[in-house]
Amino acid sequence: MAKFLKGNELNSELEKIFDDAKGDIILISPYIKLLDRYKASLLTKLQAHDLKITVLFGKNEDDMSKSMKQEDFDFFKQFPNIEIRFENRLHAKYYANESKAILTSMNLYGFSHDNNIEAGILMEKSTMAAFTGSKNLEDDTWKYFTTVLDQAELLFEKKPIYEKRNILSSTKYVNSEITVDKLSDFFNNKAYSKVFKKSASIKNDRPVEVLREKTGYCIRTGKKIPFNLEKPMDYEAFKMWNKYKNPDFPEKYCHFSGEESNGETSVKKPILNKNWKAAKEKFNL
């Protein structure tokens, strides 16, 4: 059975797909920015470890944050049984549970919901088809998008862990384990780059060249890292610094020499004054 959807009815049926799901929720959309009403519906499944959520997004291969924001990734990764995949060629939008699906023009994105003229087709699995073995539209779309999902790149996976409860092989849910996580690294590295994206400058305001192949030292830990006045810390130290983001906070080491600085270096001033001339000559600053 197929039903044409538009306007508020489209959004209402999408929420029902979330609410009625027992075994699967599939979300396929090039762009994802969840409305609060969708989050509220999905959160009713937060403890449902036996329900698998599969998310596929696409576009913006060079910067995936333009297709999915970190806040939505953080929302999804709290679920106990979920995988997130990426397909750069994705343009289709498809939302489903184990019994019905919507094929639509609407992205899972607030702007689409509020500003665009959207429509879709609601498809439900036919009970009669299950008995007769005949195929329907929902079967064809499910099969197609299952193939699309299988071929997409897996970026995040969190799977439930079970233990045997008794000799009859009854199982008990213990917890969930993250088995694949490429998205956390992406968003963490993006945050690091964003904070330091503005080039430092010297007396004549000429941008300092980023020299990734030259050796420097983390101004907080003293570890060897690429010499880069824009990023004078290793990533772990940066995460600590990023909680307060004080560019004048006193640090322990000189980014150029690695020697103790006794608080005379900082993110804003990573090289000791006495070493600045040598650093300019060595790295052609």
What DSSP string describes the chain? -EEEEEHHHHHHHHHHHHHH-SSEEEEE-SSEE--HHHHHHHHTTTT-TTSEEEEEE-S-TT-GGGTB-HHHHHHHTTSSSEEEEE-TT---EEEEESSEEEEES--EEHHHHHHS--EEEEEE--HHHHHH----HHHHHHHHHHHHHHHSEEEEEEEEEEEE-STT--EEEEEEEEEEESHHHHHHHHHHHHHT-SPPB-TT-PBPP--TTSEEE-TTT--EEE--TT--S-HHHHHHHTTT--TT--EEE-TTT--EEEEEE-SSS-S-HHHHHHHHHHHT-
Q: At what angle do helices 7-20 and 36-43 cross, to 10 degrees?
A: 20
Residue predicted with more confidence, 214 or 98: 98
At a CB cut-off of 8 Å and minimum separation 6, what does 60 contact? 66, 67
- Given this model, what pLDDT does residue 134 score? 47
CA distance 19 to 25: 10
Determine the residue type at 207. P
Tokens 């030292």 appear where? 217
User: Given pLDDT bands bounded at 50, 70 and 90, which one contains residue 103?
Assistant: very high
Is the pLDDT assigned to residue 36 strictly greater than 70?
yes
Q: What is the per-residue pLDDT for 62?
A: 79
- Report the C-alpha gap between 269 and 264 in whole angstroms: 8
Decide which of 202 and 8 is more confident.
Answer: 8
Closest by Cα among 219, 229, 178 to 199? 229
d(CA 76, CA 214): 39
Q: What is the pLDDT of residues 153-192, one digit of tens each?
A: 999 999 999 988 776 667 889 999 999 998 988 887 766 5
Residue 21's nearest CA partner among 56, 46, 4, 3 is 46
Cβ 231 vs Cβ 238: under 8 Å: yes
Span 46-95, pLDDT tens digits: 999 999 999 999 988 878 888 998 999 999 999 999 999 999 999 999 99
Structure confidence at residue 201 (pLDDT): 38
Supply the pLDDT for residue 109. 87
Q: Domain 2-188: state its class.
A: alpha beta
pTM over the 0.75 mark: no
CATH 3.30.870.10 location in the chain: 2-188
Q: Can you give the pLDDT at residue 126?
A: 65
Q: Is the pLDDT of residue 150 over 90?
A: yes
